[in-house]
């Protein structure tokens, strides 16, 4: 397959290709990649998918097993074992959008789900690894205050976030018990209950033995903007802080600096 710039696979096709190439699942495939397909039907589905891939000239029947097109195999290998990676999960209305960016040895790859169970891959000589996307998503973030950082157990904060969906006052009271002032607790509970901006960013700088990554959520409503910052792998403690627009842009640019090789200084865009 020549000049591979953009290609789309169904979830089942992607599973088939990854299994054939002995590669791990990619971000965005979900914890249960088979979805609605019962396990006992998986073999039959894979046989059908394999014939479809042969018809698309992505695979061909070999003497011992299915042989995958070399360009497709290289593309998926770059995604499965990238040098660096960013993952963005954000909301558009009620829909959660999952988008991944991979930096490989040969090229960069953007992975997008245009609709459920479909995976679109775009090959680029060099990409900004999602920087322009996240900047567009936060352009309307409120320019409120920047506050102190508090540390809390992940499980405790998850409980409060779930409570806020139905009981903002109750969530605010529990946030007070974590050490927030009354004003900050009320603002954070409101954001947890009805965020206007909701983004999860995972930036992985080194996928070697000692993984180095930065993971945080951005939550904002009309009044305030917050970062929920995860610890390194294995840590159960996370940090929460309120940020203004300038601080948010500084943090985003600092996060992408090691990945996107940005030539400009860290700071808020003009």
Residue 97 pLDDT greater than 90, yes or no: yes
Residue 75 pLDDT greater than 60, yes or no: yes
Q: What are phi and psi of 95, to 5 degrees?
A: -95, 130
State the angle between helix axes of 182-193 and 154-164 in degrees (0 to 180), rounded to the nearest 10.
70
pLDDT range class, residue 209, cuts 50, 70, 90: low
pLDDT at residue 197, as a whole number: 94
pLDDT in tens, 14-61: 999 999 999 999 998 877 666 666 767 777 788 888 899 999 999 998
Q: Measure the CA–CA gap between 247 and 252, rounded to whole angstroms.
A: 9
pLDDT at residue 267, as a whole number: 42
Give burial (CB, 10 Å; 0-12/13-18/19+) of 56. middle
In the chain, domain spans: 6-82+94-126, 137-260
The answer to whether the Cα torsion of 239, 240, 241, 244 is positive or negative is positive
Three-state SS across the chain?
Answer: CCCCCEEEEEHHHHHHHHHHCCCCCCCCCCCCCCCCCCHHHHHHHHHHHHHHHHHCCCEEECCCCEEECHHHHHHHHHHHCCCEEEEEEEEECCEEEEEEEEECCCCEEEEECCCCCEEEEEEECCCCCCHHHHHHHCCCCCCCCCCCCEEEEHHHHHHHHHHHCCCHHHHHHHHHCCCCCHHHHHHHHHHHHCCCEEEEEEEEEECCCCCEEEEEEEEECCCCEEEEEECCCCCCEEEEEEECHHHHHHHHHHHHHHHHCCCCCCCCCC
Residue 8 pLDDT greater than 90, yes or no: yes
From the list 202, 190, 196, the residue with the least C-alpha distance to 140 is 196
Residue 264 pLDDT greater than 50, yes or no: no
Among 27-31, 101-105, 164-168, 263-267, which stretch is predicted with the lowest mean pLDDT? 263-267
Q: Measure the CA–CA gap between 105 and 83, rounded to whole angstroms.
A: 7
Give the up-direction half-sphere exposure of residue 120: CA atoms within 13 A in the CB hemisphere: 10
Residue 263 pLDDT greater than 60, yes or no: no
pLDDT at residue 44, as a whole number: 77
The percent of residues above 70 in pLDDT, for the chain, comes to 90
Residue 268 pLDDT greater than 50, yes or no: no
Q: What is the mean pLDDT of the chain?
A: 87
pLDDT at residue 217, as a whole number: 95
Residue 106 pLDDT greater than 90, yes or no: no
Residue 270 pLDDT greater than 50, yes or no: no
Q: In degrees, to the nearest 5, what angle opens at C-alpha 71 toward C-alphas 68 and 74?
A: 90
């Amino acid at each position: 397959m020549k000049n591979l710039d953009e290609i789309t696979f169904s979830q089942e096709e992607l599973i088939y290709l990854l299994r054939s190439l002995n590669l791990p699942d990619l971000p965005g495939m979900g914890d249960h990649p088979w979805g609605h397909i019962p396990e006992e039907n998986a073999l039959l589905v894979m046989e059908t998918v394999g014939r479809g891939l042969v018809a698309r000239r992505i695979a061909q029947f070999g003497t011992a097993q299915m042989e995958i097109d070399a360009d497709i195999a290289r593309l998926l290998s770059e995604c499965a074992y990238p040098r660096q990676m960013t993952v963005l999960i954000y909301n558009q209305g009620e829909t959660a959008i999952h988008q991944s960016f991979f930096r490989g040895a040969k090229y960069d790859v953007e992975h997008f789900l245009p609709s459920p169970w479909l995976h679109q891959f775009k090959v680029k000589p060099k990409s900004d690894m999602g920087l322009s996307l996240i900047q567009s998503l936060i352009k309307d973030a409120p320019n409120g205050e920047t506050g102190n950082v508090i540390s809390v157990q992940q499980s405790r904060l998850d409980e409060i976030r779930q409570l806020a969906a139905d009981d903002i006052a109750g969530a605010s009271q529990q946030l007070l018990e974590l050490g927030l002032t009354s004003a900050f607790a009320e603002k954070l509970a409101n954001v947890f209950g009805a965020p206007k901006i909701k983004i999860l960013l995972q930036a992985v700088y080194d996928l070697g033995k000692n993984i180095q990554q930065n993971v945080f959520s951005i939550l904002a409503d009309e009044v305030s903007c917050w970062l929920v910052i995860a610890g390194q792998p294995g840590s159960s403690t996370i940090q929460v802080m309120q940020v203004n627009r300038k601080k948010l842009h500084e943090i985003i640019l600092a996060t992408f600096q090691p990945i996107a090789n940005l030539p400009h200084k860290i700071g808020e865009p003009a």
